[in-house]
């Protein structure tokens, strides 16, 4: 390297004294706060597009409430209210029954970007960066100039009310109008005003966001009042608290050299060997022994003195060492029973199949789990309206028998149900950038005709997919789509094929029932004719004949059923799809 330095030095030239002096140029040198940065780059926080911004605001506030309740082990009761107070000017309020925020932490929790409890932990939660709600408060203030109202009550019994804004120059909270309320309250209430947003219904709306949130959180009650004072309430269909997700130790397979060095700085361990065992998941004595054989320094040295090169050796040695797959205890799926309850209560389909796969691992180090639901018929899918076919322009008016022109009613646009795919990451709905998402791609890769659905797009189906992981591989910082990790694609496909197969069987069952009904109808229609003819030719008793004939028909249909039960004569309309792995 010294040689490299010398080589570079020979390239340095005395470039003379022309041009403006560096000292002059650097007089305007300034430092800027992260709040100022996001003020200039709000699109990085998902705050762009009037409807998308509104949905993102509600997402951040509701996510915060759900996470808080979950961590504290409280069944969430959340109220969301949007009021229109001017042109593209709204007030948004969210009240929860969570643990509240300790009085002295309110400022930094809500009025400072990049502050929070979740940044450095590996735990399956919705929020992670410590930006969400403080970003929202910043956005409120730069569009309206107004502070955000916060009321917080914790178990100590005091209810504090205050107004908060962010000094963007210093990224620090400004608290005003602080006082205590007499009313007892445990939870957090946040109320804030916004401009440059717009309330609209539709696929990317707050309504849709909350409907999907309710589906993935059957233990939560969510009440929503829209700007027209219409109230929608999703009552909890499950009264059991989900397991609290626990923090995970990182699995050795996913660790970078930088992390190996950084984590060593904070350990309590006195030896590298114990640092490894204490810090990483599945790192036992056997693994330590194996690593020791592959490195060129003392594994009992002080981890605080671990150099980059030594850490690099360990990371290389890890690649040559066998480890048990990551611990998956800390993944908390919603669970089949609860997803089914939720879909039945909110989507209200004719039929519903759910499947929670076993946990799996991607990129060798991250545990994940896929849950899918397939709701069909009834209110499943979403309503779309189809325009009536246009009439030919110069068509002659129809006339009645008397030559009077019949005034025909305009054909109204028809409403039909179309399929919808509702995507989730750690139970939080993903509403945007569906095209680039691994979930959408997998759903599209299924050949639905094999499962009796001739045209999936216009079928009354709701496909539910929830991916849970301590490390969701998003495609971008916008966190709106999941990247194409092969293991995730495979697991999702297998899960979808399972529910699709069950739906297929159900659809065939329905067709058979319909066939049987038809047969019975035909018998019923012609039996009297047959009886009449027989009476005429044989002179036998009509009533008796009719009775015997009915009996024969019933027995014939019963025999069909039995044959079916024995597996004979079964003609499936679909052929079994090969497993996903063969398809690839």
The token pair that represents 318 in the structure block: 């890890």
Min dist CB 222 to its own copies, Å, is 14
Q: What number of chain residues touch its own copies (CB under 8 A)?
A: 94
Min dist CB 173 to its own copies, Å, is 12
Segment contacting its own copies by CB under 8 A, of 104-112, 393-401, 452-460, 572-580:
104-112
Min dist CB 33 to its own copies, Å, is 7
| Candidate list 3, 14, 230, 568; residue touching its own copies; CB under 8 A | 14
Cβ pair 366, 326 in contact under 8 A: yes
Strands 77-86 and 159-167: unpaired
Min dist CB 159 to its own copies, Å, is 7
| Candidate list 90, 185, 194, 451; residue touching its own copies; CB under 8 A | 185
| Residues 236-275: x where in contact with its own copies by CB under 8 A, - otherwise, as a string | --------------------xxx--x--------------
Is 202 one of the binding residues for its own copies (CB under 8 A)? no
Min dist CB 4 to its own copies, Å, is 8
Contacts 24+ apart (CB under 8 A), 271-279: 271/299, 271/300, 271/301, 271/302, 271/303, 272/298, 272/299, 272/300, 272/301, 272/302, 272/303, 272/306, 272/314, 273/299, 273/300, 275/303, 275/306, 276/252, 276/314, 279/249, 279/250
Query: Footprint of its own copies on residues 472-491 (CB under 8 A)?
Result: 476-477
| Candidate list 311, 339, 374, 496; residue touching its own copies; CB under 8 A | 311
User: What does the DSSP 8-state code read for residue 379?
Assistant: T
Is 111 one of the binding residues for its own copies (CB under 8 A)? no
Q: Tokens 């019975």 identify what position? A: 520
Is 235 one of the binding residues for its own copies (CB under 8 A)? no
- Per-residue HEC secondary structure of 170-233 comes to CCEEEEEEEEEECCCCCEEEEEEEEECCCCCCCCCCHHHHHHHHHHHCCCCEEEEECCCCCEEE
Please tell me the distance from the alpha carbon of residue 67 to that of residue 45, in angstroms, as a whole number. 19
| Candidate list 19, 389, 392, 567; residue touching its own copies; CB under 8 A | 19
| Residues 132-161: x where in contact with its own copies by CB under 8 A, - otherwise, as a string | ---------xxxxxx--x-x-xxxx--x--
The token pair that represents 201 in the structure block: 């219904």
Nearer to its own copies by C-beta: 116 or 252?
116
User: How many C-beta neighbours within 10 Å does residue 89 have?
Assistant: 16
What number of CA atoms fall less than 13 Å from residue 447's CA on the CB side? 10
Is 6 one of the binding residues for its own copies (CB under 8 A)? no
Min dist CB 142 to its own copies, Å, is 4
Segment contacting its own copies by CB under 8 A, of 37-45, 343-351, 375-383, 489-497:
37-45
User: How many C-beta neighbours within 10 Å does residue 391 have?
Assistant: 10
| Cβ-Cβ contacts under 8 Å for 495 (sequence gap 6 or more) | 355, 357, 370, 371, 372, 465
Min dist CB 190 to its own copies, Å, is 10
| Residues 51-90: x where in contact with its own copies by CB under 8 A, - otherwise, as a string | -----------------xx-xxxx--x-x-----------
Segment contacting its own copies by CB under 8 A, of 21-29, 373-381, 436-444, 564-572:
21-29
Q: Vertex 231, ends 230 and 234: CA angle to 5°?
A: 150
Q: Where are the beta strands (DSSP E) in 209-321?
A: 221-225, 231-234
Nearer to its own copies by C-beta: 153 or 429?
153
Nearer to its own copies by C-beta: 319 or 558?
319
């Amino acid at each position: 390297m010294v040689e490299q330095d010398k080589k570079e030095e020979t390239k340095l030239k005395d470039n003379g004294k022309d041009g403006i002096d560096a000292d002059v140029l650097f007089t305007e040198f300034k430092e800027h706060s992260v709040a100022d940065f996001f003020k200039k780059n709000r699109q990085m926080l998902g705050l762009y597009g009037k409807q998308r911004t509104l949905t993102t605001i509600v997402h951040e506030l509701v996510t915060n409430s759900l996470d808080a309740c979950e961590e504290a082990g409280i069944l969430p009761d959340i109220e969301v209210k949007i009021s229109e107070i001017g042109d593209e000017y709204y007030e948004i309020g969210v009240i929860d029954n969570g643990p509240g925020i300790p009085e002295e932490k309110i400022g930094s929790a809500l009025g400072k970007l990049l502050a929070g409890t979740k940044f450095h932990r590996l735990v399956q939660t919705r929020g992670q960066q410590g930006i969400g709600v403080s970003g929202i408060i910043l956005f409120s203030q730069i569009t309206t100039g107004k502070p955000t109202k916060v009321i917080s009550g914790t178990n100590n019994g005091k209810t504090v009310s205050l107004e908060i804004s962010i000094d963007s120059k210093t990224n620090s909270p400004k608290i005003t109008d602080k006082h205590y309320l007499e009313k007892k309250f445990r939870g957090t209430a946040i109320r804030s005003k916004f401009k440059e947003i717009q309330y609209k219904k539709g696929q990317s709306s707050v309504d849709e966001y909350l409907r999907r949130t309710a589906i993935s959180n059957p233990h939560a009650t969510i009440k929503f009042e829209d700007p027209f004072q219409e109230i929608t309430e999703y009552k909890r269909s499950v009264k059991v608290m989900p397991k609290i997700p626990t923090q995970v130790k990182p699995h050795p397979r996913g660790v970078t050299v930088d992390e190996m060095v950084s984590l060593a700085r904070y350990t309590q361990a006195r030896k590298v060997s114990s640092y490894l065992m204490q810090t990483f998941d599945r790192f036992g004595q056997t693994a330590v022994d194996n690593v020791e054989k592959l490195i060129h320094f003392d594994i009992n040295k002080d981890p605080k003195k671990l150099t980059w090169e030594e850490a690099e050796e360990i990371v290389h040695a890890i690649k040559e060492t066998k480890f048990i797959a990551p611990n998956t205890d800390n993944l908390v799926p919603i669970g089949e029973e609860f997803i089914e309850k939720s879909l039945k209560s909110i989507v209200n389909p004719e039929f519903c199949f759910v499947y929670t796969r076993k946990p799996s691992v991607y990129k060798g180090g991250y545990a994940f789990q896929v849950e899918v639901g397939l709701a069909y018929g009834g209110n499943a899918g979403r309503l779309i309206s189809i325009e009536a076919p246009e009439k030919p322009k110069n068509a002659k008016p129809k006339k009645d028998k008397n030559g009077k022109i019949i005034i025909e009613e305009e054909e109204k646009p028809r409403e039909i149900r179309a399929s919808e795919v509702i995507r989730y990451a750690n139970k939080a709905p993903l509403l945007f950038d569906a095209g680039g998402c691994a979930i959408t791609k997998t759903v599209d890769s299924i050949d639905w005709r094999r499962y009796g659905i001739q045209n999936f797009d216009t079928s009354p189906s709701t496909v539910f997919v929830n991916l849970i992981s301590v490390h969701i591989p998003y495609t971008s910082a916008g966190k709106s789509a999941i990247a194409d990790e092969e293991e995730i694609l495979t697991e999702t496909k297998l899960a979808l094929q399972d529910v699709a197969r069950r739906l297929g069987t159900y659809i065939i069952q329905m067709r058979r029932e319909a066939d049987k009904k038809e047969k019975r109808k035909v018998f019923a229609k012609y039996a009297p004719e047959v009886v009449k003819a027989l009476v005429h030719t044989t002179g036998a008793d009509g009533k008796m004949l009719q009775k015997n004939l009915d009996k024969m028909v019933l027995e014939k249909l019963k025999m069909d059923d039995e044959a079916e039960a024995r597996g004979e004569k079964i003609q499936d309309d679909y052929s079994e799809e090969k497993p996903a792995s063969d398809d690839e």
